[in-house]
Structure 1
Amino acid sequence: MRPLILLAALLLVAGCGGASAGGTGGEPGALALSGPATAKIADDDVHPVVEDPVPDLPVTVRSQDGVDVTVSDVDRIVAVDLYGTLGEIVFSLGLGDRVVGRDSSTGFASAAHVPVVTSGGHDLNAEAILDLDPTVVLTDTSIGPPEVQQQLRTAGIPVVFFDPQRTLDGVPDHIRAVARALGVPPAGDALVASVDREIAAARDLAPDGAVPPRVTFLYVRGSAGVYLMAGPGSGADAMIAAVGGVDVGTDIGLDKPFVPITSEGLMNAAPDVILVLSKGLASVGGVDGLLRIPGVGQTPAGQAKRIVDVDDTDLLSFGPRVGRTITALATVLYGGR
C-alpha cells in the first residue's frame, strides 16, 4: 500500500516502552492455517450501491475543522486522504464518474483512470488539483501539507474535511458524512446497510466454541528500521476481534496503539498468528526475514510460520470494502465454512 499508512500512529511511538509480558498462549483449536498465507479479498474493485444518484444541492455541512462549507456542485470531485478511504466511499456511492482527482492510495481498478494529485506519494500538489478545476475537494488531516488545502479554499473551492480517524465502528458515520456533503444521504444509508450486511456475514465465519486464536499485528518497514507491535486503538485490534481472534497487544496490557517490538515481550505474548502488511513483509525479506526479527521465530506463530499478510490498501483503510477484508482474513484463518 503506502509506506506512511500508519503515520499518525507511528508518531505515538516516541517514548513508548517495549511490550510487556503476560500472554498465556493456548491451542488455537479453530485454526485451519498451517503456514504462511495471504489474505486477499475476492473482489477488490468498488461497486456502486446505487447507479447515478441525483445529488440534492446546495448543501451546507460542518467541516471537521469547524468551518461551515456550502457545496453547490459535485460534478468535479477531488477525494484525497492518506488511506484512499474517501475515494472508495465516493465511488461506492455511485458518484465515481464525477471524480477528477485522487490520491495514490485510491488504487482499485475503477479509479485507475483518474489523475493522481499527490506528488511524491502522499503530498498534495496544489497546481495539479487547481488544473482539474474541481467543484469540491474532500479531504482530511491525514494528508497535506495544510497550506495546500488552505490555498484551495482561498481559490474559492469548497474544501470539506472529514474525521481522519479510521475505525471499524466509525465506518457508518464516515460514509454518511461523505454522502451528506455530496447531497446524496439516501445513497449513504443504502451503502451503510450494504456494508453492515457484509460485516455481519464475515463475522459469522468465525467458529463458535473453539479456543480463539491469539493474533498480533506487527508493523514492519525494513528499509526504515521500524519494527512495531500493535496494541489497543491500532485499528488492527478491531479487525482481529471481528474474525474472532484475541488481539495480543490488548491482551497483554499495552496502553498505546504501537510500541517497539522486544524479543522478550513478543515471546511472552505467544501469538498463534502474526498479521503484517504485504509491503511490510516484503521490506524485511519475506517470511524468512520476518522470522529473523528477534523474538518472532520463538513464538508459536513463528515456529509454525503462521504469518498472514494483507494488502496495504485493504487492512486499515476502513472503507466500504471492510467486510470483504474481514471475510478474507476469516477464510485464511479458518479455511472457509
Structure 2
Amino acid sequence: MRPSTALRSLALAVALASSACAGPSDRPAGAAEVTAPRRIVTLGGPVTEAVFALGAGDRVVGVDLSSVYPESAAALPRVGYYRQFSAEGVLGLRPDLVIASDAAGPTTALEQLRAAGVHLERLPAGEDLDAARGNITRIAAAIGRPDAAAAVLADLDAELAEVDRLRARATSRPRVLFVYARGPGRLLVAGRDTGGAELVRLAAADNAGDALTGMKPWSAEAVVAAAPDVVVLPTRGLESLGGVPGLLALPGLAETPAGRDRRVVAVDDLKLLGFGPRVGQGLRELVLALHPEVRPGADP
C-alpha cells in the first residue's frame, strides 16, 4: 500500500531533519566514518534498556509501550506496542535512527520508515545469553558508541559469574513449568526451543514442558502428568490471572506438586524474559527462588 500524501510529506520532513541533525563520529581516527544519531526511537523493552545502559538515553526521543525501564524511558512519548507500532507516530518524532526488535511490526510500518529515509536497525532474533551479548554489541555500534559495550558486557558477565557460583551450590533439581499468561483464556506452556526453557536450564532446573516444542497451550491432563514442582510465570501474567489463587484455579494446576505446595514464582517480565542487559540480575533472582538451599543464611 502506497503511503498517503500526508505520510510522504512527513517522510520528507524527517529526511531533511535527519540531514540537519548529523553529528560527529564517535569512532577513533582512522576508523570507518559513522554518524552518531541524535534522535533515536527504540521498539522493544530490551532495546530501550540497552540504549540507556550504553549511555545514550539522552538521545532517545520515543519508545514503545513495552519500554517500562528505566523510569526516564517510561516517561518518553510512546509510539504503540512494538509488534503493532504506528509509522506516523515514529516519523512525527523526527528520528535519524530507529532500533527495533526482530519481532517489531507490522511490515508495512517498517517499509514506511525505510521509505522515509530513516535508518532502521533490526536486531536478530534470539533468546539466550549469546543473543543478549550480541545485541548489546550491535546496538552500541548503531548508536555510534562501540566502545561502550565493553563496560555493559563486563557488568553482565560479573552478574552471570555470581549465578554460576550459586548454581554450583544448588543441590536440588526442581521440575519447572514455565507459563505465559494474559488472562485465564490465554495460557501457554514453554516447551523446547523457547526463552522460557533456556531460563529454566540456566537456573539449574528441569523443564516440565519438554514434551512440547515452542509455546503451546496444554491440557489439564498434560499439566498434571508433567508434575511440576514449581510454576514460573511473568509478574504481569500472574496479575492478569488474579494472583496465585487465580492461577491455581486453572484446570489441572492445583493437582500438581507445585499447586499443592503453592510454589509459584513470578519473574520480572522485562528483566528476565527480554534477554537484555539485566538478564544476569533476573537469573540470580530465579536461582534463589528455585533453590532455597543457596539463599543467604541457608544451612550449608
State the TM-score bracket (shorter-chain normalisation).
Answer: 0.7 to 0.9
Closer, same or farther: CA 151–291 of 1 in aligned 2, 3 Å: same
Match of 1:325 in 2: 282
Q: Distance in 2 between matches of 1:275 and 1:209?
A: 18
Aligned to 1:257: 214
Equivalence for 1:266: 223
CA distance in 2, matches of 1:209, 1:195: 21
Aligned AA (2:193): G
The 3 A distance-change label for structure 1 pair 209 and 158 is: closer
The code of the aligned residue for 2:199 comes to M
Residue of structure 2 equivalent to 1:113: 75
Distance 1:281 1:167, change over 3 A: same
2:8 aligned partner: none
* Secondary structure class of the residue paired with 1:276: strand
CA offsets 1:252-279 (integer angstroms, 9 cap, x no match): x33x112222222222211111001222
- Say whether 1:174 aligns with 2:145: no
Task: Describe the superposition over 1:114-168 as per-residue Cα deviations: whole angstroms up to 9, x where unpaired.
Answer: 211116x852222222221111111134121221222122112111111133323
Q: Name the structure 2 match of 1:216.
A: 177
TM-score (ref. length: structure 2): 0.82
The question of whether the paired residues in 2 share the 8 Å contact of 1:236 and 1:316 is answered with yes
Does structure 1 residue 143 correspond to structure 2 residue 104? Answer: yes
Partner of 1:77: 40
Q: Structure 1 residue 207: deviation in Å?
A: 5.3
Larger Cα Rg: Structure 1 or Structure 2? 2
Count residues with an aligned counterpart.
268
What is the alpha-carbon distance in structure 2 between the residues aligned to residue 324 and residue 172 of structure 1? Answer: 14
Q: 2:124: which partner in 1?
A: 163
Distance in 2, matches of 1:216 and 1:261, equals 11
Instruction: Please tell me the residue identity of whatever aligns with 2:58.
Output: D
Residue 261 of structure 2 corresponds to residue 304 of structure 1: yes
Distance in 2 between the 1:233 and 1:306 partners?
24
Cα deviation for residue 98 of structure 1 reads 0.7
TM-score by length of 1: 0.73
Q: Give 5+ residue unaligned stretches, structure 2.
A: 1-24
Is contact 1:228–1:261 with CA below 8 Å preserved after alignment? yes
Output the amino acid matched with 2:282.
T
* Partners of 1:166 and 1:115 in 2: CA distance: 28
Q: Distance in 2 between matches of 1:216 and 1:134?
A: 42
**1:290 aligned to 235, 247, 250, which one?**
247
Can you list the C-alpha shifts for 1:217-240, whole angstroms capped at 9, x where unaligned?
A: 0122325x1222211122011211
Task: Name the aligned partner's letter for residue 260 of structure 2.
Answer: Q
Which residue identity is paired with 1:264?
E
* Worse-matched range after superposition: 269-278 or 125-134: 125-134
**Comparing both chains, which one has the higher relative contact order based on Cα–Cα distances under 8 Å and sequence gaps of 6 or more?**
1
Match of 1:277 in 2: 234
Deviation at 1:113, TM superposition (A): 2.7
AA aligned to 1:116 is R
CA distance in 2: counterparts of 1:57 and 1:76, whole angstroms: 22
